[in-house]
Every structure is written in structure tokens, then in C-alpha cells.
């Protein structure tokens, strides 16, 4: 049944894409402007991953999102339809494949292919209102591999919000300063509101030709989607099991998160980024910081390093925070629309929690791994 549905959907999507392309071509002939109303963009990615200091088993990998399967594995196909009108427009961002499924883990039914789905209205030159499902404004990294320098993702990204559904207002104060305010469902519940509670969001931004800085806030009652056999892993601060009856557990306290994301071109070839975050729910949560130095040797080759410190807090007295230091060195090789991203990654935990094992299958506190990502953008 799922196969028939997907085949039908893909066929319909292809027909719509051809129709949009034809419409755009005719519109360009008839109009004097070169501005495209309809746009079709996206990406396709796949990768190879292997452990260097451990057995190659899908249960032994960095506990971060995406790029954590062994051998040759799939990322996702990402197709983004958008319309830019004079006063209003929309974005329909669809994802297929393992990376896409992991990105929309709290969606239900046929909506599990929707990464973003929103409409916007330019109320004035300085105010834009958006309603629907949009990717999070917190953090340095994003879901699409085309938006990240490193192919694997950080712990802060993996445990922070992915997406929100709600209403947001963007205010352009002047050419440099901006403010965004939002009212949203519980984090990552993009199809519906599971608890009747709402979360507030706020962003203060500054940008110029040299870079940008964004200070982000999130506050509100959250929910967790769990099953009857769900197991909470405190080392990564997440539910790890699947299956069973679905329930929605409402946090007894509001969650507060503050996040700073910034990046600047220090020279024509050298870029430096930083992300710091703190998340707390009645003493439980996580915090961390990461630096992102990147150097371009040519138009086709560059190197980037992500070094991150990440810690989980249990909220219990006399229990130390479990922390991880992870360094990832990534090369980016541009071959037209195709980009190859070989990377070496080394993760070390503050204590041996059994998450990593060595070549003999014995528990250890560290893991070295290799990933080769391939991303085609269109």
C-alpha cells in the first residue's frame, strides 16, 4: 500500500513540476520582468560511514541525527516548491528517505513527508507574517545537508528543536537589525497540538556584509511522543525505543532555551562560526558550545572543523553531568552541482556509559569514525 501511494505521489509531483516549469517559461516570455514566480529547488544525498576504532555495527555510532548508519547508506531526496508573489507566497518542502523520516519524527500519517509547509504575507516593507510548519530558528545547523558545511551533525543540533508549527512575525528594524516573535505548538509537533499548550519564540538578529549574529529564545510547555515500551537514555537525553501504543507525555514544567548563533568572514578566505545553547526543564536538559572555523583554498576545495562540547543534565543531586567532546574535520570538494564531503570524526565521553565499544566489543569512552557524504543540489 505504501509503495503504491508513493508511486502515485511521485507521478503526480512530476506532472505538477512539469506544469510549473511550463507556466514559468510562458510567463517569462509574456512579462518584461525576469523574476520567477514559481521555483523548484532541492537536493539528493547519500553517504558511506565506517568506524575506525570500533566494530561496524549500527548500534555503535555518534548519538547524533542522520549519517549514523554503517556502510553505504541513504540520506534523503528533498524537493522544495515555492511561489513568491508581490505580497504573499508559500513554501512546500517535501522529504523522502531516512534523513527525511528522522527529521519529521513527530509527524503522523501522510504528513510524514512534509519538512516545511507554510504561507506568508508581506504586510509591509518591514513586516512579514508566516503561518504553518517551518524549520527551527535555533542553532547553527539545519536539516538539509546543503545548508551545513559538515555532513554529520552536532549534538546540540540533534537534541535541539527541528521544526515548529505556528504563527511568526518578522520585523526588519533597519538594514542591520531584525526581530522575530512566534507562538507555536510544542516543539517538533508539526501536525497538531498534543497538549493544548503553546510555546513562545523570540529572535533578535544583526547582520551586515561581514556576517551575522542571532540571539534566540524558546519558552513553553513541551510534550514527548512515547510508546508503551519506550526507554529514555540519559546519556543522550532522548527516547530510544520504538513500537507499542503511542502516548503523549506533557512536561510538568515549562522548557526554557537560549541559543546564540553567529558567523563572520574574518578574511576573504577564512570564516569563523560559533553556536552556544542552554536548555532547561526543571533542572533537566542540556547545554553546549561549538566553533566552526572554515578555510577556502580555492573555489572548489575548502576545509572546515567543528569542535563541540555538549553536556546532559539529569536534574538529580550528586549526579554529575555526562559530557561529550566531538571534533569533526570535513573537506568540501565541489564538482559542479555535486559536492563530496569526506570527514574524520572523534567523539569522547566524560565517562564510560556503554555507548561506544572498541574493536573487541568492550565498552569504551571514545569513538573515531569516517564519513564520505555526497550531496547534489539543484
pLDDT digits (tens, 9 = 90+) for 192-209: 898 889 999 999 999 999
How much is the pLDDT for 12? 42
Task: Give yes or no for residue 4 having a pLDDT over 70.
Answer: no
Q: Which parts of the chain are beta strand (E)? A: 38-51, 71-84, 88-96, 114-122, 127-135, 163-172, 177-184, 199-208, 211-227, 232-233, 238-239, 246-265, 270-281, 284-296, 301-313, 322-335, 338-349, 356-357, 363-364, 366-377
**Residue 270 has what DSSP assignment?**
E
How much is the pLDDT for 224? 78
Task: Give yes or no for residue 256 having a pLDDT over 50.
Answer: yes
Region 295-308 average pLDDT? 98
23 vs 270 pLDDT, higher one: 270
CA distance 73 to 325: 25
| Total-model pTM | 0.84
Residue 230 near residue 249, CB atoms below 8 Å: no
Q: What band does 111 get if pLDDT is binned at 50, 70 and 90?
A: low
- Mean of the per-residue pLDDT values for the chain? 87
pLDDT tens across 59-93, in order? Answer: 899 999 999 999 999 999 999 999 999 899 999 99
Contacts of 60 (CB under 8 A, 6+ apart): 51, 54, 356, 357, 367
Amino acid at each position: 500500500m505504501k509503495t503504491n501511494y508513493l508511486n502515485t505521489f511521485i507521478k503526480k509531483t512530476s506532472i505538477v513540476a512539469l506544469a510549473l516549469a511550463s507556466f514559468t517559461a510562458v510567463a517569462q516570455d509574456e512579462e518584461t520582468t525576469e523574476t520567477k514566480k514559481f521555483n523548484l529547488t532541492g537536493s539528493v544525498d547519500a553517504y558511506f560511514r565506517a568506524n575506525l576504532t570500533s566494530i561496524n555495527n549500527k548500534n555503535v555510532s555518534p548519538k547524533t541525527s542522520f549519517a549514523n548508519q554503517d556502510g553505504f547508506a541513504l540520506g534523503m531526496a528533498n524537493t522544495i516548491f515555492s511561489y513568491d508573489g508581490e505580497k504573499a507566497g508559500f513554501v512546500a518542502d517535501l522529504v523522502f528517505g531516512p534523513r527525511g523520516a528522522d527529521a519529521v519524527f513527530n509527524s503522523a500519517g501522510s504528513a510524514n513527508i512534509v519538512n516545511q509547509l507554510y504561507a506568508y504575507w508581506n504586510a509591509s516593507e518591514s513586516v512579514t507574517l508566516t503561518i504553518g510548519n517551518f524549520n527551527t530558528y535555533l542553532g547553527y545547523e539545519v536539516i538539509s545537508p546543503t545548508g551545513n558545511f559538515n555532513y554529520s551533525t552536532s549534538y546540540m543540533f540533534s537534541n535541539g528543536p527541528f521544526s515548529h508549527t505556528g504563527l511568526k512575525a518578522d520585523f526588519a528594524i533597519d538594514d542591520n537589525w531584525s526581530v522575530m516573535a512566534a507562538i507555536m505548538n510544542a516543539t517538533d509537533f508539526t501536525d497538531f497540538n498534543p497538549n493544548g499548550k503553546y510555546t513562545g519564540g523570540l529572535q533578535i538578529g544583526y547582520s551586515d556584509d561581514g556576517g551575522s549574529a542571532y540571539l534566540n529564545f524558546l519558552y513553553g510547555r513541551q510534550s514527548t511522543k512515547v510508546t508503551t515500551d519506550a526507554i529514555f537514555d540519559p546519556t543522550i537525553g532522548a527516547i530510544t525505543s520504538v513500537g507499542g501504543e503511542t502516548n503523549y507525555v506533557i512536561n510538568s514544567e515549562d522548557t526554557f532555551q537560549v541559543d546564540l548563533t553567529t558567523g563572520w568572514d574574518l578574511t576573504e578566505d577564512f570564516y569563523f562560526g560559533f553556536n552556544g545553547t542552554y536548555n532547561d526543564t526543571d533542572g533537566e536538559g542540556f547545554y553546549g558550545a561549538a566553533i566552526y572555523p572554515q578555510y577556502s583554498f580555492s573555489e572548489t576545495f575548502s576545509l572546515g572543523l567543528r569542535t563541540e562540547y555538549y553536556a546532559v543534565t539529569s536534574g538529580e543531586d550528586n549526579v554529575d553531568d555526562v559530557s561529550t567532546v566531538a571534533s569533526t574535520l570535513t573537506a568540501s570538494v565541489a564538482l559542479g552541482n555535486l559536492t563530496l564531503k569526506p570527514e574524520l570524526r572523534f567523539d569522547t565521553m566524560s565517562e564510560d556509559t556503554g555507548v561506544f565499544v572498541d574493536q573487541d566489543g568492550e565498552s569504551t569512552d571514545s569513538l573515531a569514525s569516517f564519513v564520505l557524504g555526497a550531496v547534489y543540489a539543484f
